[in-house]
Amino acid sequence: MTDTALAGLYSIATAMSTGTFSVVVRRGGKYGNAVTGVLIGLIVILPPLGVATWALWEPEWWNPRAYVLLAAGGLLGPAIGRVLYFAAIHYLGVARALPLASMMPLFAGLFGVGLLGERPGLPVLLGTTLIVAGCIAITRKKADDTSWSRRHLWIPLLAVSTFSASHVFRKAGVELVDSPLVAITVMSFSGMVFLFLLARLLPRDQRPQLDRPKAWVFYTVSGVLNGLSVFLHFGGLNYGDLTIVTPLSAMAPLFALLLSRLLLKEEENITPAIVAGTLLIVMGGGIISWSIF
């Protein structure tokens, strides 16, 4: 199997775990805000990551330049982007927030081409276009639909832009250190530190609420799933270009839509526009898969 094919497999696995993680976050929103969810997830996942890094440590993993890049990715990712992503799920629901987050291929492609010198082929560009078209379909809103508001659409879009910038730092960092495990550990630790510092600037009701037991239950599960998603994503980046890994990882809405239908019937309103948009996204991911396999 080629490196590009391995990158594709890692990315599809990332999409599956991300879809599941998003449904758990939606349920957890009843018991704690977005900052709480992200912090609990990082607190839970860091100890096993640290132990694994220590146990498997290789001397060539010591690379301060890579750590600086990964720390920057942690600031843009967990400390800012992930909080916005959790908030988008809480305000818009999984069925809308996750597909909107799939606009990341557009931003990531621009960053990858402009800053990393990557050159995606025609199938990748076509697949990315379909993914973006699907996101546009999902944002259609009926006049009598009061379950969500367009004034919250900026939240996932800002999350997308910060995550896309974060991916550039992640890609550069993981190539220098050549270890997804070290990369996710450094990035998660820096994200947690930055988030603790930035939380002091938030309104009181948006600060961490770590004294809620049920929040710990749901967000611990989401933290483990998210850690798995990021690890798989780093594995994909180790084998393939950003312009391939990111669009395939963005197939997560397919899995989220199925799980929402099964587990969130009372909380999620699955409309024809959402289904159509999700199918466009999946078609885009399928075209990219066909081009690399």
Most confident of 132-136, 182-186, 269-273: 182-186
Average pLDDT, the chain: 81
- How wide is the angle at C-alpha 153 spanned by C-alphas 74 and 157, nearest 5°? 35
Q: For residue 118, what pLDDT band results from cuts at 50, 70 and 90?
A: low
* pLDDT tops 90 at residue 186: yes
Q: Most confidently modeled of 44-58, 96-110, 141-155, 250-264?
A: 44-58
Where is pLDDT greater, at 112 or 39? 39
Residue 156: pLDDT band with limits 50, 70, 90: confident
pLDDT at 290 (0 to 100): 64
What mean pLDDT comes out for the span 103-129?
Answer: 66
Nearest to 257 by CA among 229, 273, 278, 272: 278
Give the confidence band of 64 by pLDDT, cuts at 50, 70, 90: very high
Per-range mean pLDDT, top range of 15-19, 50-54, 159-163, 242-246: 50-54
Residue 147's pLDDT is 65
Domain boundaries, the chain: 3-139+151-292
pLDDT digits (tens, 9 = 90+) for 123-142: 777 877 887 788 777 766 66
Q: What percent of the chain has pLDDT over 90?
A: 17
**pLDDT at 120 (0 to 100):** 65
pLDDT tens digits, one per residue of 72-106: 999 988 888 888 888 888 888 877 777 776 666 55
Least confident of 58-67, 114-123, 174-183: 114-123
Give yes or no for residue 146 having a pLDDT over 70.
no
Q: Would you say residue 242 has pLDDT above 80?
A: no
CA 181 to chain centre: 17
Q: In angstroms, rounded to a whole number, what is the distance separating the alpha carbons of residues 41 and 134?
A: 30
More confident residue, 290 or 270: 270
Q: How many residues does the chain have?
A: 293
- Is the pLDDT higher at 146 or at 74? 74
Q: What is the pLDDT of residue 112?
A: 60
- What's residue 56's pLDDT? 94
Full-model pTM: 0.72
pLDDT at position 145, please? Answer: 62
Is residue 151 classed exposed, middle or buried when 0-12, 13-18 and 19+ CB atoms within 10 A define those classes? exposed
In this prediction, residue 51 carries a pLDDT of 95
State the burial class of residue 262 (Cβ atoms within 10 Å of its Cβ: 0-12, 13-18, 19+). exposed
Residue 255, both tokens: 């899995």
Burial 113-125 (b: 16+ CB within 10 A, else e): eeebebebeebbe
pLDDT of residue 113: 62
Which of residues 216 and 279 earns the better pLDDT score? 216
